[in-house]
Amino acid sequence: MGREVLPGLHWFYEPGPDRLEMVTDGRSAPDWYEPGSAVRIPQCSYLFDGERSLLFDTLSPASREQILADLDDALDGGSLDYLVVSHPDVPHAGNASAILDEYDDITLVAPRYGNAHDLYHLDEAMHIGEGDEIDLGRFTVAFHEATFLDAPISLWMTERTHEMLLPVDWMGFPHHDADRLTCVDELDYDLTLDQLVEFHGRVLFWHQYVNVEKVQREIRQVVETYDPELVLPTHGLVIRERTTEYLELMTDVVAEIERRDRVGALGG
């Protein structure tokens, strides 16, 4: 299942299991939640299709046939030139070999950060990081050391012509089943602190052990450095309006996770 967010920018979406326990977990349902709805924390991947094409992340193996079909549709018989894996976790890199098998002359691109790349079959990949760019014609993508991450081999990506930030696991959030492939500005509710807390407290669980002020400083630094128009998260919905406001909301998220002590783990 995919959506073309901008000409040449395709958003692929895998819903994952129902995360209902996240909103019914021994407390009253949060304001954003509509009773009866399934709750999704998706896997997302993004295709940048210019004169050359680049796929950022691969979804999980549960969506293997789907992503191959979606890619084929979006590329309309064209080739895929680059496959970027943000980090080696299964929901991000699980279809890398299937996609590499499907296209001739495709280049696998992996973070140069961390080590033991051979463990994940990334030793033969093109290794990139801060300062590296790929010109795709319609889009130019640049790579960055991830500010907030959950694996040593990780990277973030930006896109220069439309000022996009792809912060991978950071800025994820649960949402209703009906909100699949819906941009945040199209929802009939505002993205809430609670949604961001639920995700970051459980999935990026290191948030429970941080120096809050230090992380808040880093968040402000991210906003200042990247100042994006669009945020494309891999476990949330595309943000294309009020972007700075939502990024700055993350400073409250860190404080709230500390206040709540322990948000919980991710079941399912």
- Interface positions with Fe ion (CB under 5 A): 169
**In what helix (H) or strand (E) does residue 54 lie, and over which residues does it extend?**
strand 53-56
Collapse the DSSP code of 248 into the 3-class scheme (helix H, G, I; strand E, B; otherwise coil) and give the result: helix
Give, in order, the Cα–Cα distances in Å from 74 to each of 55, 78, 109, 131. Answer: 11, 9, 20, 29
Query: Smallest gap, in angstroms, from Cβ of residue 91 to Fe ion?
Result: 5
As measured in angstroms, the least distance from the Cβ of 232 to Fe ion is 13
Based on CB atoms, which residue is closest to Fe ion, 72 or 150? 150
Element (H, E) at 3: strand 2-6
Amino acid at 12: F
Any bridge partners for residue 134, and if so which?
141
| Closest CB to Fe ion: residue number | 169
Element at 53 (helix H, strand E): strand 53-56
Three-class SS of residue 48?
A: strand
CB of 86 to Fe ion, least distance (A): 8
We find the least distance from the C-beta atom of residue 135 to Fe ion, in angstroms, to be: 27
Which residue lies nearer to Fe ion by CB, 49 or 89?
89
Quick check: 3 and 10 in contact, CB under 8 A?
Answer: yes
Q: Which is nearer to Fe ion, 162 or 200 (CB)?
A: 200
DSSP 170-233: TT---EEGGGTT--GGGSSS---HHHHHHHHHHTTGGGGGS-HHHHHHHHHHHHHHH--SEE--
φ/ψ (deg, to 5) at 56: -105, 110
Q: How far is the CB of 173 from Fe ion (least distance, A)?
A: 13
3-state secondary structure 75-121: HCCCCCCEEECCCCCHHHHCCHHHHHHHCCCCEEEEECCCCCHHHHC
Which of 59/74 has CB closer to Fe ion?
Answer: 59
Rounded to the nearest whole angstrom, what is the least distance from the CB of residue 94 to Fe ion in the complex?
Answer: 11
Nearest CB to Fe ion, comparing residues 117 and 235: 235
For residue 162, the minimal CB distance to Fe ion (Å) is 23
